[in-house]
Amino acid sequence: MSADAATWDYIIVGAGTAGCLLANRLSADPQMRVLLLEAGGRDDYAWIHIPVGYLYCIGNPRTDWLYKTEPDAGLNGRVLRYPRGKVLGGCSSINGMIYMRGQSRDYDGWAAQLNDEAWRWDACLPFFKQHEDHWRGGDALHGAGAEWRVEKQRLSWPLLDAFALAAQQAGIPASDDFNRGNNEGVGYFEVNQKRGVRWNASKAFLRPVQRRRNLEVRTGAMVTRLAIERRADGALHAAGVELRTREGVQTLRAARAVVLAAGAVGSPQLLQLSGVGPAALLREHGIEVLHDLPGVGENLQDHLQIRAVFGVSGLPRNGTLNTLAGTWPGKARIALQYALTRRGPMSMAPSQLGAFARSAPERAWPNLEYHVQPLSLDAFGEPLHAFPAFTASVCNLNPQARGSVRIASPRADDAPKIAPNYLSTDGDRLVAAQSLRLTRRIAAQPALAAYAPRELKPGVEFQSDEALARLAGDIGTTIFHPVGTCKMGGDGDALAVLDGRLRVRGVGGLVVADASAMPAITSGNTNAPTLMIAERAAQWLRAPLP
């Protein structure tokens, strides 16, 4: 199809987790012409596919947008790196590979907010199963034989086994499946891998259909704004997108819909650049206000992880990754093991052991998630410490804090201002203090006594709620789960950007189908829920409602 005559049925902006699935599903109808646009490059960088390669993808301009947050008062003025995938597969190409749906109460809560039964857990479960290929096979809760591979991890660590037993001694039950609707318990995470190799959305959903004649995938394709027109009846309609090319700006038209799948940062940014968003913000940057939609870019939610580090003793030389990878023979052993068996530390997700717990006994549901690792470092991308240690990162699954994503200029090349507002409420600060106390209680259990864990961070000298909350601000960092910036909502919700079918309110032919659509963050890692949202969007786009 020539560029000058480029009219498509669907144009999808963003070939990340959601966009890859959408392209697969919408192009299944050979009568529909589908264009998938990705600002980044192809996923042919070797470190994408080796699980431990996330260390070389985060902070790498080849694969990451390199965003940073604004200075955050809750983090005592610190600025955080805010990774987002800029490559085919999006964040599924650089994330922790953990398969986690969240809890049934998350989706039942969405349904209540929207007054829409379609978002209840029981209604969403079939759409999780629809693309799933679970290692156990299919049953009432899991799918088998579809595109999205879910496997057990191909390693174990005696130190992590001891932590799991200590968690049980502290009152957290054992679990062999975090994806049944109530994820309380402790156990090893399941991961999106295939025989020790990362399984990203590009492999799962694009490669099997790359020969479809009605699907085109373009990389290096930067959408600068949406082409929104006002029709004769006064209604706004998304007619297509403006795409920057070497020859200049090109307008591509969509006959049926433009689908934003650019993520919780990219989708609100693009709407704002296109004149859809808070009127005062748009006027501040000289952008014509086509539709005053106050919620665009608001309601940002994320999981802040508090990384408690414990030094240990009584372990063999290979008892933690710090010591195993601390010598050239150790590094060679790790590389050889992966080359021969696709097992061992190079097959590791960033976190191996998980636990879901309650920050206080009176909590009605688990509101904490642990990511436990047989290693320690100052931050991702920094060297491992030279001493044996483990890290027990804990995050508040249901933060009260709400932040924002707002454009900093009218130029698409300029990163938006990301302000998560972590620990900005008394409730979030209390949960942070309680979570650190629970971590200490687990570390003090008999199962870990042989390792004599010593709290190195934050440090036992900090005891009061106030001191622990302040220290949480010093050591907390994002766990890379931004959502909610184009939230679904009911007719009475002033910040609702989307209706319950993911359509942008007040603009026809425009759908947002990514993590930005979540009204409230899910209780766990957010990649799997994003796939479910895309699956729902594809269903509704194929059979549009009046």
Active site residues: 481
Q: How far is the CA of 48 from the CAs of 151, 152, 264, 358, 480, in angstroms?
A: 18, 19, 22, 34, 17
Contacts of 340 (CB under 8 A, 6+ apart): none
Alpha-carbon separation of residue 199 from 195, 341, 461 (angstroms) = 9, 17, 43
Give the span between the Cα atoms of 391 and 247, in whole angstroms.
Answer: 50
d(CA 467, CA 460): 11
Bridge partners of 7? 253
- What whole-number distance in Å separates Cα of residue 59 and Cα of residue 480? 13
Q: What distance in Å separates the CA atoms of residue 504 and residue 361, rounded to the nearest whole number?
A: 41
* β pairing state of 248-260 and 7-13: parallel
Residue 36, SS3 per DSSP: strand
What whole-number distance in Å separates Cα of residue 197 and Cα of residue 75? 35
Between helix 527-542 and helix 121-129 the angle, nearest 10°, is 90
Contact 443, 454 (CB under 8 A): no
Give DSSP secondary structure letters for 335-395: HHHHHHHS-SGGG--S--EEEEE-SSTT-SS--EEEEEES--BSSTTSPBPSS-EEEEEEE
Q: How many helices (H) and strands (E) would you count in the chain?
A: 14, 26
Tokens representing residue 399 in the block: 């933060």
What's the token pair of residue 16? Answer: 């990340």
Measure the CA–CA gap between 412 and 522, rounded to whole angstroms: 29
Place of tokens 């061992």: 344
Going by C-alpha positions, the residue among 114, 97, 99, 72 that lies closest to residue 520 is 114
The angle at the Cα of 219, spanning 342 to 53, to the nearest 5 degrees, equals 25
> Cβ(69)–Cβ(473) under 8 Å?
no
Asked whether 343 and 154 are in contact (CB, 8 A), the reply is yes
- Count of CB atoms situated within 10 Å of the CB of 288: 8
Instruction: Report the residue count for the chain.
Output: 546
Contact 10, 541 (CB under 8 A): yes
